[in-house]
Amino acid sequence: MKNLLFALIFVLNITEFVQAKIDFIFRINPYATHQPILYEIARNTSGPIIEFGCGDGSTDLLHSICKESGRLLITIEDDLTWLDKFRTKYL
């Protein structure tokens, strides 16, 4: 819990800096407000990433980060509409 709290404080302090890069490259819609935090947590960790549910605000971002760093991304999705949207893009 202490490490998670530290990570969140760290991310909140640099969110404004990271926001510009994410706005330019990844942000698809105004509801993707979690991207700066997701970006920093993914960039400052190692190992596989498990994404619970595809989304316009997370899946493309995580694929980009994982491809760049050679990490495995596992996305679990139970909605066939979302699954089909991203299956054609990444499989």
Contacts of 22 (CB under 8 A, 6+ apart): 35, 36, 39, 61
Q: How many CB atoms lie within 10 A of CB 63?
A: 17
Query: Looking up tokens 């994404």, which residue turns up?
Result: 51
* Segments of the chain scoring below 70 in pLDDT: 1-29
Amino acid at residue number 7: A
Q: What per-residue confidence (pLDDT) applies to 25?
A: 54
Q: Smallest Cα–Cα separation from 76: which of 46, 57, 55, 47?
A: 55
**Pairwise CA distance, residues 29 & 21, whole Å:** 15
With 0.85 as the threshold, say if the pTM is over it.
Answer: no
Contacts of 79 (CB under 8 A, 6+ apart): 53, 54
